[in-house]
């Protein structure tokens, strides 16, 4: 084994890699960009959680407890409730994550050194966030108990929290995670199928044959898009059956509304995949391009960490991500029982992304052909 020759060959490969401007960009820019996104976006901490307070007591202890909530960096009181009927719309419309319902005679019970009851109604659609918020509130209640006992020279004061989780009563994390996996899997499959389509033709040397056919570029583009969409719909159907039958996650909403979301999501994913394919010369470049899109798309979708926790600049980036809208649709249909009317705000952004990405991929395809 000639070590000198091996070192010389390695040196040549390094020089070839560094001389190529595209290779330098792939090696340096994407990892730094992804690290910045992960560092800011991937956080399980929650701050300034929007909450509503329904104070049925109005005594000294309840006002002091609310003051402690106001002073916490974890919570932000956005709504003061006056009656029970105001609770449901706030949770249903995601205006607040939880409602703190202070029972009547709370202050009297606390003054006597006994338990004062507080009901906490939480949005259980994101089980992880709901659990963290409940833990924060429990910690705050313990601190309130200690402070009240010290100030009044008594013992036994206890704020008794009782939690009630809506949409996910048992707070099962798989009810939140598994429907989201549906979006990730069909995105991966559709993106790879379409991203490799044109690159495969170029690498195999058959791309030139497309140029001499009577088909127009837009017709070739449609022909390349159809397989990815069909495969995505078939895979989505299989995964849906597995989710409902094997994992026993309730499908509470309209199946038609879900499939409309699937079709729009597949169209947007196909547009992105075809853009990558039109730019790529080899299949290796196409796979790398798909990977560079996939990882930030998952992080910026709200799949594991809430978008509301991310910095404002990062939150604006999420509006360009079709997976963000589809996760709201699939979780809304499964957990909330949503139908077409409640999901319209998620449909039209994906439709716009689909139109723009498909038109741009068509322009790229035609430009690369000629």
Put simply, whether the predicted model's pTM sits higher than 0.85 gets the answer: no
Can you say how many angstroms the Cα of residue 231 is from the centroid of all Cα atoms in its chain? 23
Say if CB 273 and CB 235 are below 8 A apart: no
Cβ neighbors of 368 (< 8 A, separation 6 or more) are 278, 279
* Residue 149: exposure state from Cβ atoms within 10 A (0-12, 13-18, ≥19): middle
* Alpha-helix runs per DSSP H in 153-216: 173-204, 207-211
What residues form DSSP beta bridges with 250?
none
Token pair in block for residue 232: 């995505």
Say how far apart CA 282 and CA 273 lie, in whole Å: 14
Per-residue pLDDT of the chain (370 residues; tens, 9 = 90+): 567 765 765 565 566 556 656 555 655 665 566 555 555 555 555 777 888 999 888 888 888 888 888 888 888 889 899 888 888 888 888 889 889 998 888 888 888 777 888 889 888 887 778 888 888 888 888 888 888 888 777 776 678 788 888 887 776 777 888 888 888 888 988 888 888 877 777 777 666 666 666 767 677 777 778 888 888 888 889 888 888 888 888 888 899 999 999 999 999 999 998 888 888 877 888 888 888 898 889 888 888 777 877 788 888 989 999 999 999 999 889 888 888 988 999 999 999 999 999 888 888 877 765 4
Confidence at residue 179, expressed as pLDDT on a 0 to 100 scale: 86
Q: What are phi and psi of 106, to 5 degrees?
A: -60, -45
CB atoms under 10 Å from CB of 75, counted, come to 24
Pair of tokens at residue 275: 């853009």
Cα–Cα separations (whole angstroms), residue 20 to 14, 15, 23, 24, 181 = 10, 9, 5, 6, 37
The DSSP bridge pattern shows strands 158-166 and 49-55 to be unpaired
Domain ranges of the chain: 49-166, 174-369
Largest CA distance in the chain: 92
88-143 confidence digits (pLDDT tens) = 888 888 889 889 998 888 888 888 777 888 889 888 887 778 888 888 888 888 88
CATH topology of domain 49-166: abc type-2 transporter like fold (3.40.1710)
Distances 205 to 158, 173, 195, 229 between C-alpha atoms, Å: 76, 48, 17, 25
């Amino acid at each position: 084994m000639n070590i000198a020759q091996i070192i010389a060959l390695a040196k040549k490969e390094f020089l070839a890699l560094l001389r190529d401007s595209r290779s330098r960009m792939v090696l340096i820019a994407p990892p730094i960009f992804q690290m910045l996104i992960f560092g800011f976006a991937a956080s399980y901490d929650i701050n300034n959680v929007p909450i509503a307070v329904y104070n049925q007591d109005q005594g000294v202890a309840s006002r002091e407890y609310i003051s402690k909530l106001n002073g916490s960096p974890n919570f932000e009181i956005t709504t003061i409730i006056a009656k029970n009927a105001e609770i449901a719309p706030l949770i249903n419309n995601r205006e607040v994550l939880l409602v703190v319902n202070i029972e009547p005679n709370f202050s009297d019970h606390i003054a006597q050194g006994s338990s004062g009851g507080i009901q906490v109604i939480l949005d259980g659609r994101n089980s992880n966030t709901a659990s963290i918020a409940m833990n924060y509130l429990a910690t705050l209640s313990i601190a309130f108990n200690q402070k009240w006992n010290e100030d009044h020279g008594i013992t036994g004061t206890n704020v008794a929290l009782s939690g009630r989780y809506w949409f996910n009563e048992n707070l099962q994390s798989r009810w939140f995670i598994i429907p989201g996996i549906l979006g990730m899997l069909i995105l991966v499959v559709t993106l790879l199928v379409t991203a490799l389509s044109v690159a495969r033709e170029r690498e195999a040397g058959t791309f030139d044959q497309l140029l001499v056919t009577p088909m127009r570029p837009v017709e070739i583009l449609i022909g390349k898009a159809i397989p990815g969409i069909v495969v995505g719909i078939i895979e989505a159907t299989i995964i849906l059956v597995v989710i409902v039958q094997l994992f026993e996650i309730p499908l509470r909403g309209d199946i038609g509304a879900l499939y409309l979301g699937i079709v729009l999501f597949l169209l947007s994913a196909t547009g992105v995949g075809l853009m990558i394919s039109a730019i790529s010369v080899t299949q290796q470049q196409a796979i790398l391009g798909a990977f560079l899109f996939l990882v930030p798309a998952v992080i910026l979708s709200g799949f594991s960490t809430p978008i509301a926790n991310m910095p404002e600049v990062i939150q604006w980036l999420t509006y360009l991500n079709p997976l963000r809208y589809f996760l709201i649709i699939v979780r809304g249909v499964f957990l909330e029982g949503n139908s077409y009317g409640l999901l319209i705000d998620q449909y039209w952004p994906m439709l716009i992304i689909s139109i723009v990405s498909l038109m741009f991929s068509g322009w790229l395809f035609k430009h690369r052909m000629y």
